[in-house]
Structures are given as structure tokens and as C-alpha cells.
Amino acid sequence: MSETTQTLFRACHLCEAICGLEIKTQGSEIVSIKGDNADPFSGGHLCPKAMALKDLQEDPDRLRKPVKRVGDNWQEITWQEALDEVARSLTDVQRQYGNDSVAVFAGNPNVHNYGNLTHGRLLRKALQTKSNYSATSLDQLPHHLIAYHLYGHQFLLPIPDIDHTDYMVIIGANPLVSNGSLMTAPNITRKLQQIQKRNGKFVVIDPRRTETAKAADEHHFIKPGSDVYLLLAIANYVFKSNKVNTAHLGDLLVGLGEVELAVADFSAELAASKTGVSAEIIEDIAENLINTKRAVLYGRMGISVQQYGTLCQWLINIINLVTGHTDVEGGAMFTSPAVAYVKKGAPGAGHFGKFRSRVSGLPEFGGELPSVALAEEMMTEGEGQIKAMVTIAGNPVLSSANGKQIDEAMENLDYVVAIDFYINETTRHANIILPPSSPLEHEHYDFAFLRLAVRDTTRINPAIFDKDNDALHDWQIYNKLSEKIAELKNNDFSPLPDPKHIVDWELKNGLYGQNHELNLSWEMLEANPHGIDLGPLKTSLKDRIATLSGNIELIIPECMQDLESLDKTIDTQDGKLLLIGRRHIRSNNSWMHNYQRLVKGKPHWQLFMHPDDLAARGIENGAEVTIKSRVGEVSTVVKATDEMMPGVISLPHGWGHQKAGVKAQVASQTQGVSCNDLTDETFYDAISGNAALNGVPVEVFNKAG
């Protein structure tokens, strides 16, 4: 008897775009994956990553049961054995060295899995540790910090209203490849084309002529790490032109005069000398932002993950505010999601600087310390030294600054546990690995990305397959492990219900719930498998501002201090090249490299370098070169391309899978090196502690030389 073919609809969880999918299965096999044409948000769009969901589900390297390291080998053990040993070992370390001796590191995939978002806090609460770290401080921390200061909540994040803007300036972002980042926007190629079709334009400022830059009306090269000068010059121009437009938010803005004084010394001419972007171009961009009714300024990884990341994000918000482009159609708007709607009094607003890291004194944000401090906290002896670690879907050895140092530090930990379904460069150090069910074996709701979306929508994602009887979902792991730890510590513990029930409650009590005509619930969304359109972004900030004063307090003391430290003299070159990252549409996280569908074809891991920089060093295109920074060196193959700004090189994140003990058959056979063996843990944003993974000074030379 043949197995029944089933068709289910679900959003892809492999990047921020959350494109709707039509997935056909036959028994335990995926037969086909297509775009869901009826999805009101993505409209049938999908990228190559979605096809890898089949590889992920069927991957023979994916762990299905808990494993324990015995010498150089791994043996499967029962869940009871695993959870008992992990709870006992972690509490033993804490009894000997204190609660903060156990660190928790959470990776990027956590936000793609609602069980982690609803239940992950249980483990931190049970451990009672302040040694919490995550990929946030390797990515978007400056965005959250500025949202917290200006608008009162770390998730009250302004999102470009790309569907209605007529002039968009994109700095340090490549949305055609990222599918939008902190800007959930499926089929963004079409959205950018629509700007041009309505006689608008979009401009890209980036040290590389990226895929997005090639499609733009204008592209301008900029020296990595110098973006702050360009933004200061734009702000200065707006004030000096006496064209400040605060629109409907004028009565909320506090500190406008102080901002004008703070940016007064930063001219377009100074910015040109620092950035390589001419004063004329800078002033033209400023004029367009001033004079275009529907315009928006947007910046992402290239300006967030650098030395002045927080200052850059502050200035982007300032510019959008003083040109009348915040909380208005076509500008930077605030989402109104069905779940986790942010307004004054909403939980999780954040806090900053309540405590600091033990060694370097870096500030916490929202209870997390910057990841650049992780290795030194493991390696520096004394009270509070990290002696054990829990990693949750994270691979800091490949993703954190100076990953080699983290790798070495982890070798000396007393105990490591990983909640992960791969033995990767980080989890190979674990004593026990607890693998959750696969993403397709549980339901999901996109808390994070629906509140970052360029249009308000809602949908649930059903499980495609049943999990094995002896498998656990991640939320079940958190409930069980946290309960055991709390019991050993003689602390009270209350498990949380299935995340489905949490989402159902949020839907019913949210913006479109019982007091709205839609009356949303989990059951209703099950009856609408393609999702429900909630409409375009809406002007709403005045009713939602979450600061204590109810105002937008523009002056942030830490930003003022950073401004005062900026060099106002003309730059001189030191001969070093500046390293930046690079993203490929098939490569989002390091674990994606174990899927043949994503790594096949032309190599994605090469070093990109301008032909003039190669010639100046006597290096041939295609040669093997050594790249050296303060913290280390790697060797890889170089590709000559004039899409790089002279003086800048690009190496993508997430490669370098050849370490002993890694169990990833496909990834281990790929070439490429880890760019984070070059990034520097002492090179970070002074305000937030966010890693500066872009603009790292390096040298490049022939490997033989």
C-alpha cells in the first residue's frame, strides 16, 4: 500500500525573510518544496536555502539522541542519564566556584525556533548566572541599544517602509543576498525594483559593489569603519541648511539643540577625507533625504559590526528623525505584530550597564555581556572565572571574534554541555550534547521576524513530521533540565506550558485578539494555513513611546563621549588592508555548509581583493595567500575583482570546518577558512561592546613568501 502524499504550508526558518513554502511529503520523505503562492507576504517567492530543508531533515550527521564524549569517541545515552549528569555537573561547578562560573552562549538559530524564545529563559533562571552571552553582540546589539535609549524598548525598532519609500539609502547592507536583515522582506529584489518603477531611487554605500549595489541607482565606495563621518556630515548638513523637519514627532524630541552642537564640527569635506565619498555626493544624499517626502536611511551589518556601531545607529535614527522620516509612510516605521506588540510597559524593554564583565569591564545589555569578553573570562583566573559552559545552537569558535582563542579556552573548561544537533567546531568540546527535535518536527511561530517585517502579517507553521517517540523538543529539554537544576539547588521551579499555548494566549490578548474584529487565535491561524495579512506599517509611535519621560531623549551620554573621541584631522594611510565580511545567498550560518544543495557550484569562500592591491604585492589571481592580523593568520585562495574598493578585502563568515573531531561530512570536505581567526576580540564598539568584525587591519602576502 503506497504512502499518502501530504501537502503542508510553512514558512522557511533559514533566514529572516520567512518565505512561505508549500511542502509535499510522502511518509517520512520530502517530495517537493515550492514557494507558497497564496502566502500574502512572500507571494510564492523562495531562495535556494529553502531547498536545503530536505538536506537538514535527512542529514545523517544530525544527532537524534543524546551523546556523551568518551575519550575521542561519542556514545549514545538515554535522556534520563544525560539530563541527570548535566544538571549534577553544572551545579557541582557552581557550588565550587559560584553561579557565574557557568556561562551560557546562545547562537543565531535560537530566534528561528519559538521553543528557544519561550523557554530558554528557564535555564538561565535555574542557573542564576550573570555569565550570559549570545550572537546579539556579534550582530545587532547597537540597534537594540539605540531603540532602548530613544524609544524606551529594545524591540521598538524602526523598520524601513520599503513598500512605500521613494528614496532609500542603504549603508553597509546587502539585502538582495540577506533577503533583508532587521527588515524582514521576502522577495526584496521586487521591492527594490518597485521603488525604481515609481520613479524613486535607492542608493548603496558599501566598500564592496555588492549584488544590491549592482542593482542600485547609485553605488559609492566607502572606507570600512568611517561611516560615522558620513552620517555626521549628513546630520550637520541638515542643521546648517536650516531644513530640520521633525514632522509630527517634534513635541516628543528632547535635546535637538545639543545634537546640532555635537555634529557642528563634522563637515562634508572632513567626511570626504575620512570616507573616500566626495563632499558633493554626501551633500546630494542629504538634499535628497531632506527634499523627498517618502525617504528612509537604513544601515545594517557593515555599520553595526564595527568600531562605531552604536554611534552609527544613533545617527541613522537622528537623521531619519530630523528629516521627517520616522513613523511616517515611506520612512522608518514601527511594526504592529499580532504577538509581542511593543508599547509602554511591554516586558523585555531591556537595561544597560547594570553590571559589567569581570576582566575588561564591558557593560551588560538586557542581562547579556558582550561576546568579545567570553574568552578572557574563561582564561583569566580569579573569582568569577568561567569554568563551565552551555552552548545553545551556537558555534562561537567560528562566529566570534578571535575564534581560535575561544577554541583554546574551551579546552580547559571543567564541563561543557551543548543543546545542539551537530558536533561542530564548538560542540566538539562538549561532555554531553542534547539534540532537540529537528525544525520540521515541531510547530513554530515567528516571534522575532514578524515584528521586524516591512508589512504586518501573521501565520503559524505546523510540524511537517512527527518527532521520534524518544526525542525531545527544545522546550521540553529546558523544562526538564531546569527542573533538575532547581531541585539540586533547592529552588522553586514552575515549568512553562507548550509554546503553542503561550502563542495562543498572546494572539488572543494581543492587538488583533479578543478586542479586535479578527479575534485571532491559534485555532484561527490553523484554519488559515497561508497566513493572514494585517496591512501596511502604521504611524503609531506617539501612542507607544516607552521611555520613562514619554519623550524621545536624543542625547545619549555614551554617544556624546564617543563623539568627543573622534579624530577630526585628515586621515593618513598606514598601508594596511581592511578586512570586511561577505554574505552569500546560500550561506547564512556555519551549519548550512553541511548541505550539498548549498555548497555545490562555484566556491563561496574565497578572499576577494582588488587587482591593484594584488599587483602592488606581486600576487597572482587565484594564488594561495596568507592573511595576517594582530591575533592570527590564515591561508586561502584569492580572487581578483574590481567590485572591491582598493585597500579593502573580503572574506565570508562561517567557513573553516577542518578541525579534528567535527562530524560534518559535507562541510569538512569544503575549503575555506574562518575569518574570525583574524578578527580581534580587543577591537569592538566602545559603547556597547559589540564586536567590530568589519574594518579589521590586516596584511596579505603570497603564502610562499
Choose the weakest-confidence range: 2-11, 172-181, 612-621, 651-660: 2-11
Close Cβ partners of 251 (under 8 Å, ≥ 6 residues apart): none
User: Which pLDDT does position 705 carry in this prediction?
Assistant: 54
Cα(212)–Cα(192) distance, integer angstroms: 9
User: Which pLDDT does position 173 carry in this prediction?
Assistant: 98
**Does residue 350 sit within a domain?**
no
- Residue 13 sits in the same domain as residue 125: no
**Does residue 135 sit within a domain?**
no
Assigned C-alpha cell, 630: 594582530
Close Cβ partners of 414 (under 8 Å, ≥ 6 residues apart): 93, 387, 388
DSSP annotation of 495:
P
Mean pLDDT of the chain: 96
- Residue 193 sits in the same domain as residue 334: yes
264 C-beta neighbours (distance < 10 Å), count: 13
Assigned C-alpha cell, 553: 531623549
Assigned C-alpha cell, 589: 550560518
What values do phi and psi take at 175, rounded to 5? -60, -25
- Residue 203 sits in the same domain as residue 283: yes
CATH of the domain at 121: 3.40.50.740
Q: Which long-range contacts (CB under 8 A, 24 or more apart) does 144-148 make?
A: 144/350, 144/365, 144/366, 145/310, 145/313, 145/350, 145/352, 145/365, 145/687, 145/688, 146/310, 146/313, 146/314, 146/317, 146/556, 148/349, 148/350, 148/352, 148/365
Cα(530)–Cα(248) distance, integer angstroms: 36
What values do phi and psi take at 370, rounded to 5? -65, 140
- Residue 97 sits in the same domain as residue 165: no
Strands (E), 394-551: 415-419, 432-434, 455-458, 532-536
- Residue 666 sits in the same domain as residue 595: yes
Assigned C-alpha cell, 223: 572606507
296: β partners: 168
| Residue pLDDT, tens place only, 564-606 | 999 877 554 567 999 999 989 988 777 789 999 899 989 999 9
Work out the angle at residue 693's Cα, subtended by the Cα atoms of residues 687 and 696, and round it to the nearest 5 degrees. 105
Q: With contact defined as beta carbons under 8 Å apart, do 563 and 685 qualify?
A: no
For 136-158, what is the mean pLDDT?
Answer: 98
For 12, the 3-state DSSP assignment is coil
Per-residue b/e over 447-470, b at no fewer than 16 CB within 10 Å?
A: bbbbbbbbbbbbbbbebbbebeee
- Residue 152 sits in the same domain as residue 270: yes
| CA 139 vs CA 107, 155, 430, 679, 689: distances in Å | 11, 15, 25, 14, 11
- Residue 216 sits in the same domain as residue 282: yes
- Residue 151 sits in the same domain as residue 110: no
Cα(578)–Cα(694) distance, integer angstroms: 8
Q: Is the pLDDT of residue 234 over 90?
A: yes
Cα(205)–Cα(207) distance, integer angstroms: 7
518 burial (CB, 10 Å; 0-12 / 13-18 / 19+) is: middle
| CA 583 vs CA 129, 162, 605: distances in Å | 34, 21, 10
Assigned C-alpha cell, 567: 579624530
- Residue 179 sits in the same domain as residue 48: no
Strands (E), 489-539: 532-536
Last residue of a domain, one of 30, 58, 86: 58
Last residue of a domain, one of 39, 58, 77: 58
Q: With contact defined as beta carbons under 8 Å apart, do 25 and 6 qualify?
A: yes
- Residue 548 sits in the same domain as residue 594: no
Pairing of strands 20-26, 29-35: antiparallel
> Percentage of residues in the chain with pLDDT exceeding 90?
94
For 29-45, what is the mean pLDDT?
Answer: 97
Strands (E), 593-695: 607-609, 624-628, 633-640, 648-650
**Does residue 509 sit within a domain?**
no
Q: Is the pLDDT of residue 668 over 90?
A: yes
- Residue 201 sits in the same domain as residue 175: yes
H-only helix segments in 98-159: 114-127, 141-151
Q: Is the pLDDT of residue 180 over 80?
A: yes
**Count of domains in the chain?**
4
Q: With contact defined as beta carbons under 8 Å apart, do 226 and 207 qualify?
A: no
298 C-beta neighbours (distance < 10 Å), count: 25
Per-residue b/e over 644-682, b at no fewer than 16 CB within 10 Å?
A: bbebbbbbbbbbbbebeebbbebbeebebbbbbbbbbbe
Q: Is the pLDDT of residue 618 over 60?
A: yes
Number of helical (H) and strand (E) elements in the chain, helices listed first:
25, 28
**Does residue 517 sit within a domain?**
no
Largest CA distance in the chain: 79
For 153-175, what is the mean pLDDT?
Answer: 98
User: Which pLDDT does position 571 carry in this prediction?
Assistant: 57
Q: With contact defined as beta carbons under 8 Å apart, do 435 and 470 qualify?
A: no
Work out the angle at residue 140's Cα, subtended by the Cα atoms of residues 596 and 548, and round it to the nearest 5 degrees. 150
Q: With contact defined as beta carbons under 8 Å apart, do 123 and 409 qualify?
A: no
- Residue 192 sits in the same domain as residue 308: yes
Per-residue b/e over 520-536, b at no fewer than 16 CB within 10 Å?
A: bbbebbeeebbbbebee
354 C-beta neighbours (distance < 10 Å), count: 11
Q: Is the pLDDT of residue 429 over 80?
A: yes
**Does residue 344 sit within a domain?**
no
**Does residue 413 sit within a domain?**
yes
Grid look-up 553541511 returns: 594
User: Which pLDDT does position 4 carry in this prediction?
Assistant: 87
Sign for the CA dihedral angle at 583, 163, 206, 320 comes to negative
Cα(147)–Cα(143) distance, integer angstroms: 6
User: Which pLDDT does position 588 carry in this prediction?
Assistant: 76
Which residue segment(s) compose the domain that 235 sits in? 141-338+542-565
The model's confidence at residue 185, banded by pLDDT at 50, 70 and 90, is very high
For 621, the 3-state DSSP assignment is coil
Q: With contact defined as beta carbons under 8 Å apart, do 222 and 207 qualify?
A: yes
Close Cβ partners of 313 (under 8 Å, ≥ 6 residues apart): 142, 143, 145, 146, 299, 303, 304
596 C-beta neighbours (distance < 10 Å), count: 12
**Does residue 603 sit within a domain?**
yes
What values do phi and psi take at 105, rounded to 5? -120, 120
| Residue pLDDT, tens place only, 523-532 | 999 999 999 9
The model's confidence at residue 1, banded by pLDDT at 50, 70 and 90, is very low
Strands (E), 420-531: 432-434, 455-458
User: Which pLDDT does position 587 carry in this prediction?
Assistant: 85
Nearest to 374 by CA among 393, 350, 394, 354: 394
**Does residue 353 sit within a domain?**
no
Please count the residues of the chain. 705
CATH of the domain at 39: 3.30.200.210
Return left, alpha or beta for 416; rule: phi > 0 is left, psi -120 to 50 is alpha, else beta: beta
Work out the angle at residue 475's Cα, subtended by the Cα atoms of residues 352 and 139, and round it to the nearest 5 degrees. 35
